[in-house]
Structure 1
Amino acid sequence: MATVAFIGLGVMGYPMAGYLSRAGHCVRVYNRTLSRKDQWLRAYTGWGFATPGEAARGAEVVFTCVGNDHDLSEVVRGEQGALAAMGRGTLLVDHTTVSADITRSLAVCARDREIGYLDAPVSGGQAGAQKGSLTVMVGGQEADYQRALPLINCYADAVKLMGPVGSGQLCKMVNQICIAGVVQGLAEGLHFAKAAGLDAEEVVSVISKGAAQSWQMENRSKTMLAGEYEHGFAVDWMRKDLAIVLDEARRNGALLPLTALVDQFYSEVQAIGGSRWDTSSLFARLMKIRPFE
């Protein structure tokens, strides 16, 4: 069993750290909102600390799962951050979806202190974290990956090393590009079905058996039609991710016209009060424009 630290107990990190505890590992936790840390300690066996550095001290592997580039930099290399407290030969594994730039920068800081670094963003959303069935895309060195793999497997069904540091974040960007396009396509399909006077649920029951089938169709079509958008991954977070994607595309020359358009549509969802709705709320935007009542 390993001594690990988990920094960030949000909707993803909370159950992920829980799975490490249930597997028997010694888990040291930190969260900026202290009440969330206390809640976790009532649910799981572990130790809570007041700063990221205190949580990281003595841990063999430190996991981070926070909000954005700024949050990650603060908990890793801030005045009370994890890096300063970590010993030589330890490993930092970041599960936050952030830019490849901050990932590479932090990896250099870690290497200078003889600490391993993996960028390991996740896919599967809140439901995947709660079920322990996440997909994890990893960038870094093979030896570090093999060291972290048994721990990551506590809350993941699929884990793959994609290449050097930064590769995990780039793979996650591809994931978000594909999700954006599929959700918009599903939203438009359901909207068209209603405009045509069809029973949209019956349409889905048929086309989901063919080439149009997707995870979004299977898991979100009914709730979209019911106007239910409380499924975890908020529009605010999706826009954060798409901003990272579009910034990277400007640098590498990738053409992403659909992604840019869907990002604009999500800004319209925010404007109608949907900042905390989940990503399937693209359908709500269409129904706001043309409700078919």
Structure 2
Amino acid sequence: MAKLAFLGLGVMGFPMAGHLVAAGHEVTVYNRTAAKAEAWVKQHGGRHAGTPREAAQGAEIVFACVGNDDDLRSVCLGDDGAFAGMGAGALFVDHTTVSAAVTRELAAAADAAGLGFVDAPVSGGQAGAENGQLSVMCGGAQDHFDRAEPVIDAYAKICRRLGESGAGQLAKMANQIAIAGLVQGLSESLAFAEKAGLDGRELVEVISQGAAGSWQMVNRHGTMLDDQFEHGFAVDWMRKDLGICLDAADELSVSLPVTALVDQFYKEVQQMGGGRWDTSSLIKRLRRD
């Protein structure tokens, strides 16, 4: 069993760090809001630290799951950053969804400090984190991945290396691009069914067993039909992710017309006051008509 640190105890990080303890690892946590770190220790044991550097000291692997590029830089770099506390040969594993550019920047900084770095964004939402059933997409050197994978397995349904540094983040972008179109399609399908006088649950029971079936349909249709969105992955975070996707597409000269359109639909949801609603709230735009 390993000595670990986990930085960031949001709706994803809190249960993920808990799974590491359940697997028998020794875990020290850090969170910007100390009260949340204290609550985690009360629930799972382990200890909490006042800075990322303190949490990382003596850790074989340091995990992070924070908000965005700037948040990730802040927990990695500087006098109080994790890199300053990590010993030579230690490994940093980033579960945050960020740009491939910041991943490569921090991977280079880690390498210069004698550290390993794996970018490992996740998919599966809060439920996947709580149930230990996340899909983990990784980039980095093969030997670094080989060290990280057995530990990540504590909360993963599948964990795969897709290439060198940044490949995990690019895979997560592809994931979010696919989800954006799926959620919009499901929203239009259910809104159409409502207008046509069909029973939405009966409809989904039938079409989910055919070619239209998807994770979004199975797991989100009920709350969409009930107009309940105070759960799941927030629209604000999805717009952050889609912004990363669209920036990367510009760099790669790739056209993403559906993704760009759905991003604007999510902007409308934000303007409706739904920034913290689940991404399935796209259907609320269609119910205004």
Q: CA deviation at 1:47?
A: 1.1
1:243 corresponds to 2:243: yes
Q: CA deviation at 1:114?
A: 1.0
Give the aligned partner of residue 130 of structure 1. 130
Stretches of structure 2 that go unaligned for 5 or more consecutive residues are: none
> Identity of paired residues, percent?
60
Q: CA deviation at 1:150?
A: 1.1
CA RMSD of aligned residues (A): 0.7
Give the aligned partner of residue 269 of structure 1. 269
Give the aligned partner of residue 189 of structure 1. 189
Q: In the aligned structure 2, how far is the partner of 1:261 from the partner of 1:71?
A: 28
1:283 corresponds to 2:283: yes
Give the aligned partner of residue 80 of structure 1. 80
Q: CA deviation at 1:204?
A: 1.4
Give the aligned partner of residue 18 of structure 1. 18
Give the aligned partner of residue 7 of structure 2. 7
Q: In the aligned structure 2, how far is the partner of 1:33 from the partner of 1:7?
A: 11
Q: In the aligned structure 2, how far is the partner of 1:232 from the partner of 1:199?
A: 24
Q: In the aligned structure 2, how far is the partner of 1:220 from the partner of 1:157?
A: 20
Give the aligned partner of residue 60 of structure 1. 60
Q: In the aligned structure 2, how far is the partner of 1:177 from the partner of 1:100?
A: 15
CA-to-aligned-CA distance 1:203-255 (integer Å, 9 cap, x gap): 21211111111111111111101001122210000000000000000000111
Q: In the aligned structure 2, how far is the partner of 1:272 from the partner of 1:79?
A: 41
Name the SS of the counterpart of 1:10 in structure 2.
Answer: coil
Give the aligned partner of residue 95 of structure 1. 95
Q: CA deviation at 1:110?
A: 0.3
* Corresponding letter in the other structure for 1:279: T
Give the aligned partner of residue 257 of structure 1. 257
Give the aligned partner of residue 218 of structure 1. 218
Give matches, 1:158-237, under 5 Å.
158-237=158-237
TM-score, with structure 1 as normaliser: 0.97
Name the SS of the counterpart of 1:135 in structure 2.
Answer: strand
Give the aligned partner of residue 106 of structure 1. 106
Stretches of structure 1 that go unaligned for 5 or more consecutive residues are: none
Q: In the aligned structure 1, how far is the partner of 2:38 from the partner of 2:137?
A: 30
CA-to-aligned-CA distance 1:11-38 (integer Å, 9 cap, x gap): 0000111011111111011000000000
Name the SS of the counterpart of 1:163 in structure 2.
Answer: coil
CA-to-aligned-CA distance 1:58-78 (integer Å, 9 cap, x gap): 101000100000000000013
CA-to-aligned-CA distance 1:151-209 (integer Å, 9 cap, x gap): 10011110000000000000000000000000000000111111222222222121111
Q: CA deviation at 1:122?
A: 0.3
Give the aligned partner of residue 140 of structure 1. 140
Q: In the aligned structure 2, how far is the partner of 1:64 from the partner of 1:206?
A: 41
Q: In the aligned structure 1, how far is the partner of 2:206 from the partner of 2:8?
A: 42
* Corresponding letter in the other structure for 1:2: A
Instruction: After the TM superposition, list the runs of 4 or more consecutive aligned residues in structure 1 that deviate by more than 3 angstroms.
Output: none
Name the SS of the counterpart of 1:93 in structure 2.
Answer: strand
TM-score, with structure 2 as normaliser: 0.99
CA-to-aligned-CA distance 1:82-141 (integer Å, 9 cap, x gap): 001111111000000000000000000000011000000000000000001101000001
* Corresponding letter in the other structure for 1:216: Q
